[in-house]
Amino acid sequence: MESKTLPSSAAEHAELPVYNKLHASTLAIHGGHQANEHGALVTPLHQSATFAFDNAEQGGARFAGDQPGYIYTRLGNPTTAELERKMALLEGAEDAAATASGMAAVSSALLTHLQAGDHIVASNAIYGCSFALITTQLNRLGIRSTLVDFNNMPAVTAAIEPTTKVIFCETPVNPHLDVFDIRAIVAIAKQYDLVSIVDNTFMTPLLQQPLALGVDMVIHSATKYLNGHGDVIAGIVCGNREHMTRLKYEILKDFGGVISPHDAWLILRGMKTLDVRLQRHCDNAEQLAQYLQANQAIAKVFYPALSSHQGHRFIGRQMKRAGGVLAFELIGDLQHAIDFVNRLTLLTIAVSLGDAETLIQHPASMTHSPYTPQARAEAGISDNLLRISVGLEDINDIIADIEQALV
């Protein structure tokens, strides 16, 4: 599936009729691909910092924006552009921007809309570095924040101030996989004229499309499922043409958090299998959740596909499936949880998620160790809580490893 024309932007590309009838799993493979000089099946890697002009007039015309074409990779790169077109198509966005990390995506998106004197309302359950960015770094720049429980919509509304510009959350979110009501958040954003931003990392556009529900901007850590192979740190932002033009040609241009073309190329490779990988991640996680729920050594399992979970009612109406991350509480104390983790032989002790390998981490001693014990208790992070990113291995091997470690 190749477009023979060369549209200059993801927006024009998304309008190509060739994409109208394709399903998301097909778009993840073919979306955004352009014909290239030699007919290479795989997108060429343009590992070049700069691009030569035919003559001075052409260089001048590119700088003036009078002529399409590349100038310098911080301003755009053909390999990166293919990833951006693919992601824009999948999220149903007018445009997308690839960034150096998920945090570069979060910070670029927020800085596109916020300046000194502004205020942001965000979920109090949020990725740890997004929490630090909002409460420490943005605060240092004169941008204030209020963090509230997004399960409680009246509290979200009550947190809005006259200077509030942005409402931000991720769903589902660590550590309990809570799911927030995107439609309700969009309704509040529209009522108070706020820009709504959702971190869609845990779902990918194949399981959840926040823009279709009215969200203004979507963020991803492409480090996770989009790349899927644990060898890249990168991010993506998707949104409308006006927002993305500011993000790309002001924020990313001047703050500089652009992706390496090589990393974009690896993500393009990873995304060809995104749909099949996600199906396996979800199948494995569903089976593991059921096994854990039935096990006498487990106190509680947190996974939105379980009917007992807070997020269950959103499956099918906001998110297609529950994804590949789950958490559970062992019966026992902190040392018991640590001993269990140390007995595992197949599961890898590591943070991150969305890789082929099943990864397990212990929030109390790892991701949430900077919290005081009291703050951890308030956030519901018990000493025996464990988080698993369920990988692509045979589910019987994953369960067997957990079973032998539970004794």
Binding region for ligand PLP (CB under 6 A): 101-103, 106, 127, 129-130, 170, 199, 201, 221, 223-224, 233, 235
As a residue count, the chain comes to 407
Structural contact between residues 205 and 149, judged by C-beta atoms closer than 8 angstroms: no
Residue among 127, 216, 263, 355 flagged as catalytic = 127
Residue 87 or 298: the one with the smaller Cβ distance to ligand PLP is 87
Structural contact between residues 73 and 258, judged by C-beta atoms closer than 8 angstroms: yes
127 labelled catalytic? yes
Alpha helix ranges (H) inside 4-55:
10-14, 24-30
Name the phi and psi angles at 208, rounded to 5: -160, 135
Residue 53 or 131: the one with the smaller Cβ distance to ligand PLP is 131
Q: Which whole-number Å values give the CA distances from 21 to 16, 95, 130, 211, in the listed order?
A: 11, 19, 37, 19
Reference 244, options 111, 108, 129, 95; nearest CA is 95
74 labelled catalytic? yes
Residue 170 or 275: the one with the smaller Cβ distance to ligand PLP is 170
The nearest distance, CB 102 to ligand PLP, in angstroms, is: 2
Strands (E) across 229-324 are located at 235-239, 298-302
Residue 75 or 129: the one with the smaller Cβ distance to ligand PLP is 129
* Rounded Cα gap, residues 160 and 194, in angstroms: 9
The nearest distance, CB 125 to ligand PLP, in angstroms, is: 11
The nearest distance, CB 233 to ligand PLP, in angstroms, is: 5
DSSP 8-state code for residue 34: B
Structural contact between residues 124 and 371, judged by C-beta atoms closer than 8 angstroms: no
Residue 102 or 270: the one with the smaller Cβ distance to ligand PLP is 102
Largest interatomic CA distance in the chain: 74
Number of alpha carbons in the 13 Å side-chain half-sphere of residue 238: 32
The nearest distance, CB 142 to ligand PLP, in angstroms, is: 24
CB atoms within 10 A of CB 228: 26
Name the phi and psi angles at 77, rounded to 5: -150, 140
Residue among 85, 224, 280, 321 flagged as catalytic = 224
The nearest distance, CB 227 to ligand PLP, in angstroms, is: 9
The nearest distance, CB 353 to ligand PLP, in angstroms, is: 6
The nearest distance, CB 216 to ligand PLP, in angstroms, is: 17
303 labelled catalytic? no
**Residue nearest ligand PLP (C-beta atom):** 102
3-state secondary structure of 31: coil
**Single-letter amino acid, residue 286:** E
Contacts (Cβ under 8 Å, ≥6 apart) of 232: 222, 223, 263, 266, 267, 270
Structural contact between residues 346 and 397, judged by C-beta atoms closer than 8 angstroms: yes
The nearest distance, CB 181 to ligand PLP, in angstroms, is: 18
**Single-letter amino acid, residue 149:** D
Structural contact between residues 188 and 167, judged by C-beta atoms closer than 8 angstroms: yes
63-89 in b/e burial notation, b at 16+ Cβ within 10 A?
A: eeeeeeebeebeebbbbbbbbbbbbbb
Give the torsion through C-alpha atoms of 250, 254, 256, 261, to 10 deg.
50
Residue among 72, 74, 144, 192 flagged as catalytic = 74
Residue among 95, 178, 199, 216 flagged as catalytic = 199
Residues involved in catalysis = 74, 127, 199, 224
